[in-house]
């Protein structure tokens, strides 16, 4: 046994080694007991628990980002010093913590499905307004779940070697999944976005009303960019500019060509504006993340 070799943490090892399946089962049962106990906690004590867990979870990723990266160790080396040991621990803990995050996300997905089922089942049993749409939603959701899992099981386990991209090798389940997902869902998504385009056009029309200097600049910029995408208009306009400049490349009037104006708007005006917008959104996201991490945001689960 090499005593100098770096010993990985227990969660990075194979569960089959040293009876770790029993440990995992014990942790699972303990987690279930913990969830049950948390459900019985008084409402006044829930906020400190949620804030504490949120802070510890965020602290790990803050340290992972800010802590110095550990050097690559050889097989016969151990990390030395508190800084290097902590960095090595943070690095080896990332897969474990990421797995916890995926499990929590799965719980949230299950909670969302439970809430959706409860709302629509209540609507159906009480025959509330438009309850027929709830029936349609539940039927479609159930059919998609059954067909989706059936297609996945056949492609990954049951008929893995037989099913290919060739449709002649597909079973009825694969055909049903293709019809429901590619044939219906994606086409309905495209139709929905096409309908939304009319609302965007309506909002753009209201925004382009020339009532101020800002609206005038917005209207002019949008008009130039739209006209530059029309080949016939661009050709007619640029031909007129060429006739005025006598094809002289040094003439300043060449800057009035539609493609030149549109390129200037995109590269000189649009790019800095988008960078400023992204910078502002980043600052807002950072501020919101700090509020959530430090427990200053009083909405949601902290109530």
The helix/strand/coil state of 287 is helix
Phi, psi dihedral angles at 161 (to 5 degrees): -85, -15
Residues of the chain above pLDDT 90, percent: 13
Q: What is the pLDDT of residues 166-200, one digit of tens each?
A: 778 888 888 888 888 888 888 888 888 888 888 88
The domain ranges of the chain are 1-116, 129-207, 211-293
Question: What is the predicted pLDDT for the residue at 3?
Answer: 44
16 pLDDT tier (thresholds 50, 70, 90) = low
Determine the pLDDT at residue 1. 44
pLDDT at 20: 66
Q: What are phi and psi of 173, to 5 degrees?
A: -65, -40
Tokens (6 digits) for 136:
């349609």
Virtual torsion, Cα 162, 168, 172, 175, nearest 10 deg: 110
Query: Between the CA atoms of 243, 248, 253 and 257, what dihedral angle is there, to the nearest 10 degrees?
Result: 70
How many CA atoms are closer than 13 Å to the CA of 159, on its beta-carbon side?
15
Report the distance separating Cα 217 and Cα 223, nearest Å. 10
Closest CA to 254 of 231, 269, 266, 238: 238
Structure tokens given for 51? 């804030």
Phi, psi of 162 (to 5 degrees): -100, -35
pLDDT tens per residue, range 261-289: 999 998 998 899 999 999 999 999 999 98
- Residue 176 makes CB contacts below 8 A (sequence gap 6+) with 147, 151
- Model confidence pLDDT, tens digit, residues 194-229: 888 888 877 777 766 777 787 788 888 888 888 888
């Amino acid at each position: 046994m090499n005593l100098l070799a770096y010993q990985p943490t227990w969660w990075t090892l194979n569960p089959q080694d040293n009876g770790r399946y029993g440990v995992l089962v014990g942790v699972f049962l303990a987690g279930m007991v913990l969830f049950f106990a948390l459900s019985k906690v008084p409402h006044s004590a829930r906020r400190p628990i949620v804030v504490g867990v949120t802070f510890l979870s965020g602290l790990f990723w803050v340290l992972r980002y800010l802590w110095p990266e550990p050097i690559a160790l050889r097989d016969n080396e151990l990390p030395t010093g508190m800084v290097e040991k902590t960095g090595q621990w943070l690095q080896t803990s990332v897969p474990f913590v990421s797995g916890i995050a995926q499990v929590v996300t799965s719980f949230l997905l299950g909670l969302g499905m439970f809430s959706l089922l409860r709302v629509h089942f209540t609507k159906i049993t009480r025959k509330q307004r438009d309850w027929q749409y709830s029936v349609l939603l539940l039927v479609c959701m159930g059919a998609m779940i059954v067909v989706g899992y059936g297609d996945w099981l056949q492609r990954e386990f049951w008929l893995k070697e037989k099913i290919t991209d060739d449709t002649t090798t597909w079973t009825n389940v694969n055909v049903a999944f293709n019809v429901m997902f590619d044939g219906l869902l994606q086409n309905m998504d495209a139709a929905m976005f096409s309908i939304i385009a009319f609302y965007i056009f309506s909002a753009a029309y209201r925004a382009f009303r020339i009532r101020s200097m800002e609206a005038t600049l917005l209207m002019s910029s949008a008009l130039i960019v739209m006209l530059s995408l029309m080949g016939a208009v661009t050709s007619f306009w640029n031909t007129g500019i060429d006739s005025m400049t006598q094809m002289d490349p040094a003439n300043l009037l060449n800057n009035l060509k539609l493609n030149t104006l549109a390129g200037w708007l995109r590269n000189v005006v649009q790019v800095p504006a988008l960078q400023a917008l992204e910078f502002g959104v980043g600052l807002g996201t950072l501020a919101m993340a700090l509020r959530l991490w430090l427990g200053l945001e009083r909405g949601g689960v902290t109530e």
